[in-house]
Amino acid sequence: MKSVHILLVEDNDGDIFLTIEALEERRIINKVSVVNDGKEAIDFLEKKGNYQDVEYPDLIVLDINLPKKNGHEVLVHIKSSEILKHIPVIMLTTSSSDLDIKTAYQNHASCFITKPVEADDFLKVVAGIENFWINIVTLPSQPDK
């Protein structure tokens, strides 16, 4: 079974809990790193501060409504970096705004998913993300840096 490192960029403790619970329930070997705001996400990805020894993620699950830097700003940073731009970014957010959807895809998000309100539906969405992005898709290898 392959191991996949997921960076979850989320500021809602309930959504963090549900996402990790859904990933653990599927029993697929994953490493999940969690950061709670956009600036922290960029620091993680740039290996700054407390994140100097982290591994690059294979997949990023990114909320839009984040403190310090929003998800769109983080996405632009990721996709403008030669080292990071190959990493698939899933926008998982409460927003269903046409502007947010268009902006995410214009900035090269891999997909845009609106978070369901009900916990059971949320768990199913995360299971679907995991099934597609871990079991079906071939992810690129880690950057050399």
The H or E element that residue 27 is part of is none
What is the spatial distance between Cα 142 and Cα 56, in angstroms, rounded to a whole number?
A: 7
Domain boundaries, the chain: 4-136
Q: Note the pLDDT tens digit of each residue in 8-33.
A: 999 999 889 888 887 777 666 678 89
The H or E element that residue 86 is part of is none
Whether pLDDT at 143 is above 70: no
Class of domain 4-136: alpha beta
Q: How far apart are the first and last CA of the chain?
A: 25
Report, as an integer, the average pLDDT of 35-58.
94
From residue 115, alpha-carbon distances to 2, 47, 91, 123, 127 in Å are 27, 29, 10, 10, 13
Q: Note the pLDDT tens digit of each residue in 115-130.
A: 888 888 888 888 888 8
Q: What pLDDT score was predicted for residue 142? A: 72
The H or E element that residue 31 is part of is strand 30-35
Q: What are phi and psi of 34, to 5 degrees?
A: -125, 130
Q: What pLDDT score was predicted for residue 29? A: 60
Q: What pLDDT score was predicted for residue 115? A: 87
Q: What pLDDT score was predicted for residue 2? A: 64
Report, as an integer, the average pLDDT of 28-49.
90
Q: What pLDDT score was predicted for residue 27? A: 61
- Closest listed residue to residue 46, CA positions, set 54, 35, 37, 36: 54
